[in-house]
Amino acid sequence: MTLSVIISTKNSEDIIERALKSVGFADEIVVVDMHSQDKTVDLAKKYTDKVFLHKDHGYVEPVRNFSINKTTGDWILIIDADEEVTVGLKKTLLSIVKASDQAELPDCFYLPRKNIIFDKWIQKTGWWPDYQLRFFRKDHVEWSDEIHSVPITKGEVREFPAKEKFALLHHNYQSVSQFIDRLNRYSSIQSLEKKPEQELTSSEVIEEFTSSFLRRLFSQEGIEDGVHGASLSILQSTADAIMRMKVWEKQGFPQKNQNVNHTLDSLIKFEKELSYWIANSKVRHSSGLKKIIWRLRRKLMI
């Protein structure tokens, strides 16, 4: 059995060689570039003669099927230019590709992804294990062109264990500006794909932010990640609200009359839910009498 690796690129000259070096063990490397204006293509050609161009849609999904069709391997691994394969993951991938009992193996694998954001591995706030379908037999996976779409699979699908040694290393957001730039670009694209919704109200936009914020900071334990968790909870929740507002913008900013009390009710709801989650966190981080008191306060919030 042979392994093909696919890397999609766009103006990636600062990072592409790191990705390419990490997959040097593959039988074939296919690079599909979305018309970079820097030295990405020249650098890629140092590692492979299979470099192709594809129209730039602003995101990677439309490139996936095109890339797969350019491969010749039995197994395919997809990575992005800001990702790399670690030594531990390399050993696991090769053990599957070279296994003698191929008929007994699953056809598609979800890989956990280790996201490095603002110089830290983020394990809370919904960022771990961040499973991605990236390793599969050829002709067993197909993507739609929709941004962040879930691919269609054929055959048995399995997840690698959520352990660091099996993780694809992702050098994700390196700055707040990068997060905001990508947020703006992706939300604009996604708003075009959204079906028309009812007119936006002040209550809805508040709840879009607050429900996401509470989920990320508390349910997904972002609070345990200190300033990183708090910052990402705010940024990601803002992104969710902006997505909803851009759909509203696409509709022409229709104005729906709403009683001020409806807006206040949304804020009161947020206040109550926030109080519950604060009490819940205090229970987890307290002991003795303080723990009992916070349990009682939490109960009053239900």
The tokens of 69 are what?
A: 């069709």
> Band of the pLDDT at 196, cuts 50, 70, 90?
low
The verdict on 161 and 226 lying in the same domain is: no
91, 115: one domain? yes
CB 141 within 8 A of CB 153: yes
Domain C-terminal end among 140, 171, 202: 171
Higher pLDDT, 200 or 275: 275
Q: What's the pLDDT score for residue 194?
A: 75
- Determine contact, residues 67/4, Cβ cutoff 8 Å: no
Q: pLDDT per residue over 72-118, tens digit each?
A: 999 999 999 999 999 999 999 999 999 999 999 999 999 999 999 99
For residue 257, the model assigns a pLDDT of 74
Q: What pTM, to 2 d.p., does this model score?
A: 0.92
152 and 190 assigned to the same domain: no
Same domain, 167 and 203: no
Mean pLDDT of the chain: 95
Is residue 157 over pLDDT 70?
Answer: yes
pLDDT at 10 over 90: yes
* pLDDT mean over 34-48: 97
Residues 8 and 125 in one domain: yes
The verdict on 105 and 225 lying in the same domain is no
Provide the pLDDT for residue 193: 77
**What mean pLDDT comes out for the span 220-238?**
97
Residue type, 132: Q
- By DSSP bridging, strand 141-142 and strand 152-153 are antiparallel
Give the span between the Cα atoms of 64 and 145, in whole angstroms. 9
pLDDT > 70 fraction of the chain, expressed in percent and rounded: 99
In 175-292, DSSP assigns E strands to none
Q: 41: domain range? A: 3-171
Helix (H, G, I), strand (E, B) or coil at 55: coil
Residues 160 and 229 in one domain: no
- Residue 21 sits in the same domain as residue 133: yes
Say whether both 157 and 234 belong to one domain: no
Answer yes or no: do 17 and 135 share one domain. Answer: yes
Q: How far is CA 126 from CA 2, 189, 216, 237, in A?
A: 34, 23, 7, 12
- Side by side, the strands of the sheet bearing 28-33 are 51-53, 28-33, 3-9, 75-80, 132-137, 108-111, 157-159
My answer on whether 80 and 160 are in the same domain is: yes
Question: Of the candidates 151, 171, 191, which is a domain's last residue?
Answer: 171
Residue 197 is predicted with a pLDDT of 67
Q: Which of 171, 193, 222 is the last residue of a domain?
A: 171
Contact 274, 214 (CB under 8 A): yes
Domain count, the chain: 2
Could you read off the pLDDT of 234-278 as tens digits, one per residue?
999 999 999 999 999 988 898 877 789 999 999 999 999 999 999
- In three-state secondary structure terms, 204 is helix
